[in-house]
Structure 1
Amino acid sequence: MSFQTMNEKIEKHILPIANKLSSQRHLRAIRDAFISLLPITLMGGVTAVISAAPVTEETTNGFLLAWASFVQQNSMLLNWISALTLGGMSIYVCIAITYYLTRHFKHDFLVPAMLSVCGFLMLVMTPQQLGWDGKVVEISYMDGKGILPAILISILTVEAYHFMRSHDWGRINLPPSVPASLSETFASLVPGFVIISGYVAIFAIFHAFDTTFPEFIYTSMAPSLQAADSLLFIVIMTLLVHFFWFFGIHDAALSGILAPIRDGNLSINVAAKAAGEALPHVFTTPFWVYFVAIGGCGSLLALAILLVRSKSKQLKTVGRIGIIPAFFGIGEPIVFGVPVMLNPYYLIPFLCASTFNAIVSFVLMESNIIGRTFAMLSWQMPNIPGAFLSTMDIKAMFLVCGLLVVDILIYYPFFKMHEKQCVAMELETEDEEE
């Protein structure tokens, strides 16, 4: 099968599916919700780095010892910030998904948001003591472990609210002279009462069986969640994301599926780090950003380095323009400037470079040779410092440098073939102009 034939088949059969995934309202709301959490995750990531002073019993460096002393003296404050940022990720996800779905249905945001938060607090928090003198609740599922319940609660709330409002269930009509805000509140009374009653019933059922909604979900889905943090899953997802990207389908098309897994695992790792326990997960957002996609999807920093020294004027120009963005994880100038997209010369290295990075990084982290990630600083953080700051393991920096060298070797033969073609075309154009 020729490349042209394969391209035509993909455009006919796969492209419509990918477009539906990227435009499906729930997946789009989930994707946008996780993107909107960047200020929260950034603050949580910075706090996690500050809290992880790299000291041992043999450490004598004055700066590191002062750092560790600061952390010890301010541990309560740092842990509280962590608990309310990455440790409270689920409630922010719930609010954000509710916002994007209500915007899709063109409803006012306030009432559905309050209903979603009410449902989240009722089903995800576990009351321990409810008395006049004080209330004690268990909030351990507010971190990454509560993301799946948060997604379900927000979607169920908005869909139920939209259905009842669009069918005027229990709508109380008020005179036109009544302010619009008050009229909207009365129109939401019955839908709100029905939705909250539903959450009360769900809580009562799980409480009767001495369990909780999140605990039931994670017990039922434990095999699937464990599989999502496996080498096979990571390889399949890496190949799938890059295969779509090669044909012009942005990786955001799959982020509605991958973001809850990656960010949820990151939040759980943060909680484990704060508790001084072993980090349980490898597949997190910083794992993907700093170790897999070195220079953006396709690990294009390697290709950018090759382009800078290209014999082709066109490729050298693209390389000089694209190498700085690639250094900060932005590969689009290379993807569309070379172009890499739909270029048969680059299909194999585009798929293989990041997949190789994923395999090596996963194996080394799973074997505890390289520290696992627990902090996400920024999507645009360069890979080498990002690898260190996300793990606080100096070996992670050397790993990324080694992966970059191998990525260059993977791209090199395919780059040379493309370069040869470009140089020939440039010489032919010059001859014609003469």
Structure 2
Amino acid sequence: MSKLAKFNMFCEKKIMPFANKLAKQRHLAAMRDAFMSLLPITLMGGVVAILKSPPVTENTTNILLLKWAEFASNNSEILNWLFTFTLGGMSLYIALGINYFLCKHYKMEAFLPSLFITVGFFLLVTNPIELGYASKSIEISYIDGKGLIPAIAISMFTVELYRFLKVRNFGKIEMPEGVPASLSDVFASFIPGFIIIIIYIIIFMIFNKMDTTLPKFMFSLLTPTFKAADSIFFVVFITLLTHFLWFFGIHDAALAGIMGPIRDGNLSINATAQVAGEQLPNVFTTPFWIYFVAIGGCGAVLGLAILLITAKSRQLNMMGKMGIVPALFGISEPLIFGVPLMLNPVFLIPFIFAATINAIITFLLMSQHIIGRTFSMLSWNMPSIVGAFFSTLDWKAALLVIVLIIVDMIIYYPFFKVYDKQLLAQEKE
């Protein structure tokens, strides 16, 4: 047995079961599904962030850009307000989404836990400034990506504790027969809900006495971790790991529950900074990954798809024609399974390293502010050239994607020629 075959067997027996188990873990799966379900809201927030950021300077003379700037100035209040409660309110929506998918996993109703989560979220993630009969003012600066970690913790804690108490009928108030089921559920949840809210009040009081809030405290503790995640070393590591696992058939969704909060949280923070006219702090975001790293989907296969159209082998030529349109819209599965790329030793090196080279080049250019950083996410399936421009509003970003596609083609080319020659010989037999 060859060394590659032994390695494949090791991955199938040891790595794949662990990765599949990780992908199905209920909390990570709930986080992954919550982030995916948030697309309509993040899309609207991305559009608003773009509308708020016309690429104009003092020397701009283009009439369309000047009209865009005039529109943004005249409607700044409504645009800021809309952004605050779309992409700028990501933490609250993620908390509610995790609640829904966790409750769905446990086959229990999600409405009452969602109310307790909302109470806990506003008690702990916002901060009172003025509370009176005439007016109430609270600080909401942590309801965006900066509050994701406490929001996730609040959601999971609430669902798990609520379920723990409900399963044991803790403090259940029995209602007489004939009382509507919905009313019975409310009384059955009275004591569990009361306990959950009391816990959140105690947590609020503790941090209030410390003259801080839970998200502010956690954000200060986790800032070194977030900075480490927004580094070229981490980006290279996660790109290599993702594509290594994909090569052996482990979908990148296995890591989505872990990477989603980091990438989407950084995006939300960047979007908030963009709307506020501040410098964007993060490079590693969801659009960075979608539009600049995984061009054509995992494996950066759009460059390969273009090469496949020129293949002499009928099989590869057909796969190129079938796979180029999906790859254009970020879907790589037809080529991964059809060429195939997965478990194909010929393509191991380019499949893993094409996207990694994309990540290195893009990270270096963005970190040095040669290319604009990303602040909006319009669609997972938007062609990378278009997505790169609208996520940065920098024409150089779109040009960079074109260059990266050419680089990917160069990386894939020698391996493509070897495989094309092999298949052509087989077809002539």
Q: Per the shorter chain, which TM-score range?
A: over 0.9
Supply the distance in 2 between the matched residues of 1:89 and 1:44 (Cα, whole angstroms): 10
Supply the distance in 1 between the matched residues of 2:273 and 2:404 (Cα, whole angstroms): 28
Supply the distance in 2 between the matched residues of 1:179 and 1:314 (Cα, whole angstroms): 63
Supply the distance in 2 between the matched residues of 1:323 and 1:56 (Cα, whole angstroms): 38
Whichever residue aligns with residue 196 of structure 2, its letter is I
Matching residue of 1:432: none
Whichever residue aligns with residue 370 of structure 1, its letter is I
Task: Write the mapping of 1:402-421 to structure 2, written as runs, cut at 5 A.
Answer: 402-421=403-422
Query: Deviation of residue 417 (structure 1)?
Result: 1.0
Whichever residue aligns with residue 353 of structure 1, its letter is A
Supply the distance in 2 between the matched residues of 1:35 and 1:63 (Cα, whole angstroms): 34
1:115-156 CA distances to partner (integer Å, 9 max, x unpaired)? 011101100000000011100000000000011111000000
Matching residue of 2:112: 111
TM-score calculated relative to the size of structure 2: 0.99
Supply the distance in 2 between the matched residues of 1:107 and 1:78 (Cα, whole angstroms): 38
Matching residue of 1:230: 231
1:307-342 CA distances to partner (integer Å, 9 max, x unpaired)? 111000001001100001101111111111101111
Query: Deviation of residue 175 (structure 1)?
Result: 2.5
Query: Deviation of residue 172 (structure 1)?
Result: 1.1
Q: Report runs of 4+ in structure 1 exceeding 2 Å deviation.
A: none
Supply the distance in 2 between the matched residues of 1:318 and 1:160 (Cα, whole angstroms): 51
Supply the distance in 2 between the matched residues of 1:45 and 1:81 (Cα, whole angstroms): 11
Count how many residue pairs are aligned between Structure 1 and Structure 2.
428
Task: Write the mapping of 1:32-43 to structure 2, written as runs, cut at 5 A.
Answer: 32-43=33-44
Matching residue of 1:431: none
Matching residue of 1:156: 157
Matching residue of 2:182: 181
Whichever residue aligns with residue 207 of structure 1, its letter is N
Task: Write the mapping of 1:259-408 to structure 2, written as runs, cut at 5 A.
Answer: 259-408=260-409
Supply the distance in 2 between the matched residues of 1:3 and 1:418 (Cα, whole angstroms): 17
1:328-363 CA distances to partner (integer Å, 9 max, x unpaired)? 111111111101111111111011000000001000
Matching residue of 2:195: 194
Task: Write the mapping of 1:12-51 to structure 2, written as runs, cut at 5 A.
Answer: 12-51=13-52
Whichever residue aligns with residue 320 of structure 1, its letter is K
For residue 138 of structure 2, give the secondary structure of its aligned residue in structure 1.
strand
Whichever residue aligns with residue 141 of structure 1, its letter is Y
Query: Deviation of residue 279 (structure 1)?
Result: 0.2
1:398-420 CA distances to partner (integer Å, 9 max, x unpaired)? 11111111100000111111111
Supply the distance in 2 between the matched residues of 1:327 and 1:105 (Cα, whole angstroms): 38
Supply the distance in 1 between the matched residues of 2:374 and 2:24 (Cα, whole angstroms): 31
Structure 1 range deviating more: 89-98 or 99-108: 99-108
Supply the distance in 2 between the matched residues of 1:175 and 1:96 (Cα, whole angstroms): 34
Supply the distance in 1 between the matched residues of 2:53 and 2:307 (Cα, whole angstroms): 37
**RMSD of aligned alpha carbons:** 0.8
Matching residue of 1:204: 205
Identity in percent = 58
Supply the distance in 1 between the matched residues of 2:151 and 2:111 (Cα, whole angstroms): 17
Whichever residue aligns with residue 140 of structure 2, its letter is I
Whichever residue aligns with residue 85 of structure 2, its letter is L
Supply the distance in 2 between the matched residues of 1:204 and 1:318 (Cα, whole angstroms): 62
Structure 1 range deviating more: 177-186 or 280-289: 177-186
1:279-322 CA distances to partner (integer Å, 9 max, x unpaired)? 00000000000000000000000110011110000010011000
1:97-131 CA distances to partner (integer Å, 9 max, x unpaired)? 00011111111111000001110110000000001
For residue 297 of structure 1, give the secondary structure of its aligned residue in structure 2.
coil
Matching residue of 1:8: 9
Query: Deviation of residue 61 (structure 1)?
Result: 1.0
TM-score calculated relative to the size of structure 1: 0.98
Supply the distance in 2 between the matched residues of 1:397 and 1:45 (Cα, whole angstroms): 17
For structure 2, list consecutive stretches of 5 or more residues without a partner in the other structure: none
Query: Deviation of residue 216 (structure 1)?
Result: 1.1
Query: Deviation of residue 67 (structure 1)?
Result: 0.9
1:339-396 CA distances to partner (integer Å, 9 max, x unpaired)? 1111111111011000000001000000000000001010011001111110001111
For residue 345 of structure 2, give the secondary structure of its aligned residue in structure 1.
coil
Query: Deviation of residue 176 (structure 1)?
Result: 3.0
Whichever residue aligns with residue 157 of structure 1, its letter is T
